[in-house]
Amino acid sequence: MAERSTVSPDGRTWTFRPRSEARKDETDTHVVLLVETVGETRIVTCLRVEWESAATDLAGLLARSVPEGGSRGVGPSREPFGPPPF
C-alpha cells in the first residue's frame, strides 16, 4: 500500500502511511494509518476498501484521526525522555 499526502486548509502537508499493526481479527478488512505533519502525529483506522480506493477521502480521514495514543490516553511515542524542564 502506497503512502499518500494531502494539504489541509491551514497549509500543512499531511502524509498517510499504513501501519503494520491492526486488530488481529480485522487485518483483512481494516487499515491503521499513521498520519504525520511537522510536529504532529495522528492515527486513524479505516476500511481497507476505503484506503485502497482511487478516490480516498484523505480530508475525511484526517478529520476522523486522533492524536497518537489518544484513544488510550497515552502520550505520543516520540516525546523526548529525561527530566521535565524547569
Residues with Cβ within 8 Å of residue 3, at least 6 apart in sequence = 15, 16, 17
Interval 23-51: pLDDT, tens: 666 777 889 899 999 999 999 999 999 99
For the chain, percent of residues with pLDDT exceeding 70: 72
Instruction: Give residue limits of the domains in the chain.
Output: 4-67
